[in-house]
Amino acid sequence: MRTISDGPQYVQPQATAGAPWIEPQFWQVAETRSEAPDVVTLALTPPAPFEFLPGQFNMLYQPGVGEVPISISGDPADAGRILHTIRDVGAVTRALCGLRPGERVGVRGPYGTSWPLAAAEGGDLMIIAGGIGLPPLRPALYRALGERQRFGRVALLYGARTPADLLFPAELRAWRARFDMDVYVTVDAAARDWRGDVGVVPDLVKRARFDPAMTTAFVVGPEIMMRFTVRALRAAGVTDDRIYLSMERNMQCAVAMCGHCQFGPFLVCRDGPVFAYDQLARWFAIREV
Amino acid sequence: MPQTLEPLLRGHKFFAGLEPEYLSLIVDCATNEVFPADSFVFREGEPAETFYLIREGKLALEIAAPGRGAGSGALVIQTLGEGDLAGFSWLIEPHRWEFDGRTVERVRAVRIDGTCLRRKCEEDTRLGYELMRRFAGLSANRLQATRLQLLDVYGHAHNQ
Amino acid sequence: MTEIVDPRQPQLVFPASALDQLLDAIKRRSFRLIGPVVRDGAICYGDITSVSDLPRGWTDDQNAAGYRLRKRDDDALFGYNVGPHSWKQFLFPPHARLSPAERQPDQPFAFIGVRSCELTAIAIQDRVFLGGRHKDPQYETRRDGALIVAVNCGEAGGTCFCASMNAGPRVRDGFDITLTELLGEPGHRFLAEAGTDLGAEILSEAETRTALDEDVSAANAATENAVASMGRAMPEVSLRDLLGDSYDHPRWDDVAARCLTCGNCTMVCPTCFCFSVEDTSGLASTEPGGDPERHRSWDSCFTMDHSYLHGGPVRVSSRSRYRQWMTHKLSTWIDQFGTSGCVGCGRCITWCPAGIDITEEVAAIAADS
């Protein structure tokens, strides 16, 4: 099993069996779980132990419908059960969300760059998620908690639209109950029965306790949320080279050939989806790039 | 007693950097309060002559919304905690609370008498300027957060 | 680019009348010959069997938004430049079925008449489809077997600027055989050079003689003429840096007012590689989702769908889409693949209905940066 100290931050394991990129393998659905009204986690069984790094994604394929990139959302230590948390936003994701145990999914991967946990070692780690941004971060959190002694403070900051949209509530409660981790959760709007915070994620950053000089932050969420969260992190003193984001663009081949996932000089499928903010900063400032 | 509140004011984020002589002026208008959980600190429409510096606990700004809020009839638009400030309406006509303020957990706060403080600001306009500056900053942050909430960034793709 | 490097193989000469011997030697090796042909009022690439299929005595007059064929007053077989087609349509066809796997052509291609800019373009696409962590199997199959008979241009086309893109006019490498057509005394002939053992073998089956100094100088003169007749150039600055710093330049608004976002430039460009993947269920099947197929087709960054994400495209305005095309071609391609995406062939200028000239746009941006 790979540990945090293995290799430089962007190690890329071999894609599925080195097969031509156009050929997915078919994996069976072991289990499905409804996380929110429009979010489902699929647990898939790979034909052989499948290693991936936190932050990487697979292309999931439904014959006749299409193929989409989905971040792997489970524990990298579990190579026999690969989780994907999927939000129903279109024809392919709807088909994936409707799968039942025993049915099959085409899988190609893993692709992309990973969260640089090694770079965060020795300091504080802040994992900041907005909405459907939590699944791509969860593998990093699992790995960090699995090697907890390598970090100072570990904090999870998580925002969602309403309490009903919070993903993995049982795990959130379990994480909150730990003594070696801070959990801050907020929602955009709530009814009175919600006893937690109401407000935006950047305001959580203002409230969290951390040492900016020693902090590495991993941020995923809608682009607007990421931009304002980065602003709050920078205002608090976290430097651009210690802030990492996961970017999203239209992705069709995942192998740096179809040209769709371009973001300025980057191909998100190959140079991302995880990027250091200092690489991206100037591109964020340009509209429609 | 008012004299013992000066350290509390000095320690609160809102007054960071304010000159000690101004702090002693403000202390004259301050009292210490504790609100039990699930109690109303202020209600929409009531005269707003005070504001609160929250030292501990969680205060929810709520709007009464008949038929919404999953049967509770109220929506929470923001929660405030340690280091936050609740209440701008004491500064702005017609001095009425815009929202309900209800404690989620027990809240310890310093209550500042707005009428008292407004009088002191008129006497010493520099104090007035320092407070306005801080309130303007808070309002801007609050507005930005509200805008982000309004954008419904986590909403469904087909709603955008 | 006028410098003639020492040949690796002895240069040979054969008369124009012997070109068919060369083509026959290639046919005997079971290649499918593709070469220039006159079709639909342009010089396109299609199947050929002999010299009689070539555009003998034709030339092209090209300028921004203009292309016309014109008869020459000689019998030159390669007396034109490049038309709307490029070789990418054979190596990377406009439509292909990805699964179920499509049968790849049995016969490897022999491309006859590949210009230096086109050879450079093929090398650029090689990097995209073969040079990364993953190879494209269809491109690899078509590319691996392909035989390249290149041709040195003796004259620049109306919209050419290969010299300033360091992509010509003289062919450097990546070929099996290179020909330079010579029309003067002592007669219509070709100077030939082999770049591979296979090329040398094929040449040995035509009636060749060793090149004389006068043949070589005539070939050099042809190249010099090509350089001298080039009517356009990119400015001698780092295009990567210039465009990388100019995303907010007002010139983009100017070109957006003219650009129709028709995408012609991306269709004719020999390096554009964007493709979209489509999934269908076969119509004939009775099973729900039965007979699934995956296809790919050429796509263009000018389409609204190209950057589609979460309910809308990222690049909505025509300004942003033109900017994407040009900055990708000249600047970010270098970051992504290590080379420029442009070979200076001029097709995008010729085939743009609005006559937008990429060299003019760059010059305008360079002028006040």
Residues C48 and C55: their CA atoms lie apart, in Å, by 11
Q: Which residue of A has its CA nearest to C289?
A: A64
Tally of CA atoms within 13 A in the half-sphere of C168 that contains its CB: 35
pLDDT for residue A11:
43
Residues in B closer than 8 angstroms to A225, CB to CB, are 148, 153-154
**What spatial distance separates the first Cα and last Cα of chain A, rounded to whole Å?**
39
pLDDT for residue C7:
56
What residues of chain A, 245 to 264, have a C-beta less than 8 Å from chain B?
A: none
Between chains, do C306 and A260 touch, taking CB under 8 Å as contact?
yes
pLDDT for residue C103:
87
Between chains, do A191 and B83 touch, taking CB under 8 Å as contact?
no
Q: What is the pLDDT of residues A270-282, one digit of tens each?
A: 999 999 999 999 9
What is the band of C286 on the pLDDT scale with cuts at 50, 70, 90? low
Q: What are the residues whose beta carbons fall under 8 Å from the beta carbon of C336, sequence distance 6 or more?
A: A256, A262, A265, A266, A267
Q: What are the residues whose beta carbons fall under 8 Å from the beta carbon of C271, sequence distance 6 or more?
A: C88, C121, C124, C125, C329, C341, C342, C343
Min mean pLDDT across A17-21, A67-71, A243-247 is at A17-21
Assigned architecture for domain A16-111: Beta Barrel (2.40)
Complex-level ipTM beyond the 0.85 threshold: yes
Q: Which of A38, A165, A188 sits opposite B149 (nearest CB)?
A: A188
Per-residue pLDDT for A90 more than 80? yes
Q: What is the pLDDT of residues B8-63, one digit of tens each?
A: 888 898 998 999 899 988 999 999 999 999 999 999 989 999 999 999 999 999 98
Interface of A to C at Cβ within 8 Å reads 12, 15, 20-23, 62-67, 89, 248-250, 252-253, 255-260, 262, 264-267, 270, 286-289
Mean pLDDT of chain C, nearest integer: 94
Between chains, do A192 and B78 touch, taking CB under 8 Å as contact?
no
Chains near B, with 3+ CB pairs < 8 A?
A: A, C
- What is the token pair recorded at C276? 């979209």
Residues in A closer than 8 angstroms to B148, CB to CB, are 188, 200, 202, 224-225, 228
Q: Which of B83, B149, B151 sits opposite A189 (nearest CB)?
A: B149
Between chains, do C133 and A12 touch, taking CB under 8 Å as contact?
yes
pLDDT for residue C217:
95
pLDDT for residue A1:
39
Name the pTM for this structure: 0.89
pLDDT for residue B2:
46
Per-residue pLDDT for B157 more than 50? no
Minimal CA–CA distance to A144: which of A185, A180, A183? A180
Q: Does domain A117-246 have CATH number 3.40.50.80?
A: yes
Which residue segments constitute the domains of chain B, with CATH numbers given?
2-152 (2.60.120.10)
Per-residue pLDDT for A36 more than 80? yes
Residue that has been written with the tokens 């609204």 in this structure: C304
Between chains, do C290 and A12 touch, taking CB under 8 Å as contact?
no
Q: Which residue of A has its CA nearest to C329?
A: A265
What is the band of B147 on the pLDDT scale with cuts at 50, 70, 90? very high
Residues A255 and A111: their CA atoms lie apart, in Å, by 8
Q: How close is the nearest chain B Cα to the Cα of A257, in Å? A: 27
pLDDT for residue A22:
84
CA distances from C359 to A1, A210, A262, C162, C331 (A): 54, 52, 24, 11, 14
Q: How close is the nearest chain B Cα to the Cα of C308, in Å? A: 12
Between chains, do A23 and C99 touch, taking CB under 8 Å as contact?
yes
- What is the token pair recorded at A37? 């009204």
CB of A182 within 8 Å of any CB in chain B? no
Chains near A, with 3+ CB pairs < 8 A?
A: B, C
Per-residue pLDDT for C161 more than 60? yes
Give the Cβ contact number of residue C90 at 10 Å. 17
By residue count, chain C amounts to 369
pLDDT for residue C291:
83
Phi (first) and psi of residue A157, to 5 degrees: -115, 125
Residues in C closer than 8 angstroms to B157, CB to CB, are 310-311
Phi (first) and psi of residue A26, to 5 degrees: -105, 120
DSSP state of A198: E
Q: How close is the nearest chain B Cα to the Cα of A188, in Å? A: 5
Q: What are the residues whose beta carbons fall under 8 Å from the beta carbon of A206, sequence distance 6 or more?
A: A232, A236
Q: Which residue of C has its CA nearest to A262?
A: C307
Residues C237 and C243: their CA atoms lie apart, in Å, by 10
Q: Name the residue ranges covered by the structural domains of chain A.
A: 16-111, 117-246
